[in-house]
Amino acid sequence: MPRNVEAVACTPVPLNPAGFNRSAKMPYGVKPAHIQRAMQDFIDFLGFINTQLSTKKIERLESFLMPANFSSMVGEFMAAAIPKYCKTIVRNKYHNGHPDLLPKDRYPGDSILHAPDGIEVKASRHKSGWQGHNAEKVWLLEFVFDSNRSSDAGKGIEPRPFRFIKVVGAALTLEDWAFSGRSDTSRRTITASVTRSGFQKMEANWIYRA
């Protein structure tokens, strides 16, 4: 593999400034501008880390982390970055608390195991069929991206830079989820997937499109 192909892939694709929907509706004072600045932070972070790894001839993060772990990292980063720019929300300080973002000062210590208010943040390589561990009423914010996977090198898939494809979000109800089954021999954690109705709600309130 030519070294320059891998080097080029270290720098994420820039955001499209015209791709943000300034009319998108989000709760608790969150604005598309806050989302844009948080996304830019992640692009800067990933570009810096991958460039430094490249100087040591180490693979990019997305090329050696398990796909689910990398997706989780994207979501966790966004949940941490958005409150930097929107001062009316905070990161839920409860370990594995739900949802990820809470209205500021709504709960003692900004920490709660499970709250009816807030925003759940997810990231995925999939353009639909997004998943969660539980079917529940929640405002879901989904960051959809494209990047290499850890299995790509073995399949002859060339390096390509990370890019955000879209961001969508909406208030979902229990009816907008369906549990995903598994076989008797599967060890996969049972999850719930966003149904067509939930997908349509989120797409109608798109926040970013590349």
pLDDT for res 189: 59
pLDDT for res 3: 57
Of all residues in the chain, the percent with pLDDT exceeding 70 is 93
Mean pLDDT, residues 40-65? 96
pLDDT for res 142: 98
pLDDT for res 48: 98
State yes or no: pLDDT of 187 exceeds 50.
no
pLDDT for res 181: 54
Residue pLDDT, tens place only, 106-127: 999 999 999 999 999 999 999 9
Phi, psi of 84 (to 5 degrees): -65, -30
- CA-nearest of 150, 146, 121, 1 to 61 is 150
Of the pLDDT bands very low, low, confident and very high (cuts 50, 70, 90), residue 132 is confident
Phi, psi of 182 (to 5 degrees): -150, 160
> How many Å apart are CA 13 and CA 42, to the nearest integer?
11
pLDDT for res 170: 97
| Residue 111 in tokens | 């920490």
When the pLDDT of each residue in the chain is averaged and rounded to a whole number, the result is 92
Residue pLDDT, tens place only, 141-166: 999 999 999 999 889 899 999 999 99
All structural domains of the chain: 3-12+25-209 (3.40.600)
**Which residues touch 175 (CB under 8 Å, ≥6 apart)?**
195, 197
Mean pLDDT, residues 41-56? 97
pLDDT for res 36: 98
Residue pLDDT, tens place only, 57-94: 999 999 999 999 999 999 999 999 999 999 999 999 99
pLDDT for res 129: 85
pLDDT for res 186: 46
Radius of gyration of the chain (CA): 18
Of the pLDDT bands very low, low, confident and very high (cuts 50, 70, 90), residue 188 is low
- CA-nearest of 68, 81, 87, 59 to 154 is 59
